[in-house]
Structure 1
Amino acid sequence: MDITIYHNARCGTSRNALAAIREAGHEPQVVDYLATPLSREQLRELIAAVGLPVREAIRSKEAAFAELGLDAPGTGDEALLDAMAAHPVLLNRPFVVTPKGTRLCRPYELVKEIL
């Protein structure tokens, strides 16, 4: 099965999702999105595939979120996408893509729905 995980090795949820994929007998393509940031368009496509509003795909608890003023009322999707492209740490994780669908796997057990 062709599986891609957008992974942050420092994130416990991301590590657990990767382990669950491997325990199910699959070896995914692991994309370290901090080292290889996604483009604005890739982010838009990934988030749309999940069916989430852009705001739900951003980590609002990251310091950069407030530092960039993204908590201001009326901050739109385009500004959020720009921020995530420039500061990949703002992307929520892990996103997993399989032939059965795409999910933001928080909690990590959601990965089982698409394996």
Structure 2
Amino acid sequence: MSAAQMVRAGELLSRIVLDNPKLTQNEATKTLWDFYESAKSPNLNGFPNSIYINEYLQALNEETERALKLQISAQEAMDNVVKKMQPVADKAKNKRSMERQNESILPFLNLRIGGVGDGYR
């Protein structure tokens, strides 16, 4: 099976599961009905791989646990995750931006300084 076929099969399976009346008509899962509809969107993607994903998942896990124990509201939990992780995400974004700038400058520097065989490097 090709990668494209696997993606299509996964999309079909998720639509079948998310349309299952045991989920979509079950009063016990009523709070998730909007999520089920959103999860069927073709625009829904997984988490991008990032250098801080483990830290993010840890913060998300800790705050979700606090919300499930009714120590804080779900909104407070998510706000806490944002407070913890936004500075980390911003720092990673800035670092990547600097790396991209360096990548675009390096070929120019290499050509100007040592790219013509003049012995300067």
TM-score normalized with structure 2 length: 0.20
Larger Rg: 2
Higher RCO (CA 8 Å, separation ≥ 6 residues): 1
User: Which structure shows the higher strand fraction?
Assistant: 1
